[in-house]
Amino acid sequence: MADQLRFDDQVVVVTGAGGGLGKAYCLFFASRGASVVVNDLGGSFKGEGTSHKAADVVVNEIKAAGGKAVANYDSVENGDKIIETAIKAFGRIDVLINNAGILRDISFKNMKDQDWDLIFKVHVKGAYKCARAAWPYFRKQKYGRVINTASAAGLFGNFGQTNYS
């Protein structure tokens, strides 16, 4: 087997990490030696409500496999709190994966400003707030990576997802 790419001594923050691809990113990086901050507000796919369960399940799975992880339950609108979790727990941040996302499926004709605004606040401004909070640490370390995720619906669009694409 070829040598695996390792992330030993690196800290990875993943937003929207309580399930789906976010969870997969966390498990992958942890399996390759990274310490992981599992961020998930715990709300529904519509962005409603909160719960610690989703993030805690991922953290427990990483720890059960021998990895290092902590949970963060803040909204990506509070990116500074998410990044501060990494600094307090592990002393640094090396990789930020902006993966948090919600849906507000509604036809353009019926869309309200708050439907548009909530998607923008999570997907665009949330990614900005997290990257902006990580930036001073990246500069000080002279190293850092930001990975922004997107879906095919964001690239090609779907009915009811004007605000998403």
- The CATH number given to whatever domain includes residue 126 is 3.40.50.720
Q: Residue 55's pLDDT is what?
A: 97
Is 25 assigned a catalytic role? no
Tell me how far apart the alpha carbons of residues 134 and 131 are, in angstroms, rounded to a whole number: 5
Q: Is 27 contained in some domain?
A: yes
Q: How many CB atoms lie within 10 A of CB 102?
A: 19
Q: Is 165 contained in some domain?
A: no
Q: Where do runs of H (alpha helix) occur along 18-125?
A: 20-31, 53-64, 79-90, 113-119
Q: Is 61 contained in some domain?
A: yes
Q: Is 141 contained in some domain?
A: yes
Q: Is 83 contained in some domain?
A: yes
The residue range of the domain holding 71 is 11-156
The rounded average pLDDT for each run of 10 residues, N- to C-terminus, in the chain (165 residues) is 88 97 98 98 71 94 99 97 99 98 82 89 95 99 96 76 72
Kindly name the residue from 25, 73, 137, 164 that is annotated as catalytic: 164
Beta carbons of 90 and 11 less than 8 angstroms apart = yes
Model pTM score? 0.92
**What's the farthest any 2 CA atoms get from each other in the chain?**
54
| Number of structural domains the chain divides into | 1
Q: Is 1 contained in some domain?
A: no
Give residue-wise pLDDT tens across range 149-158. 988 777 777 7
Give residue-wise pLDDT tens across range 18-31. 999 999 999 999 99
